[in-house]
Amino acid sequence: PCGHWTQTIRLIPPLTITREQVDEGLDIFRRAVLAESA
């Protein structure tokens, strides 16, 4: 957790991550956020 009152999510991918891995990770994150806000 980071930020004021831990309201910030910090993503720290490795330097060798591929574009496909970034896209997949963000898609998983987006679906998780949508599932929790539904």
Note the pLDDT tens digit of each residue in 18-29.
Answer: 999 999 999 999
The whole-angstrom separation of Cα 6 and Cα 13 is 20
For the whole model, what pTM was predicted?
0.71
In terms of pLDDT, which residue wins out, 13 or 2? 13
Residue 1: its pLDDT value, please? 57
The whole-angstrom separation of Cα 34 and Cα 8 is 17
Residue 19: its pLDDT value, please? 97
The whole-angstrom separation of Cα 13 and Cα 36 is 23
Helix (H, G, I), strand (E, B) or coil at 31: helix
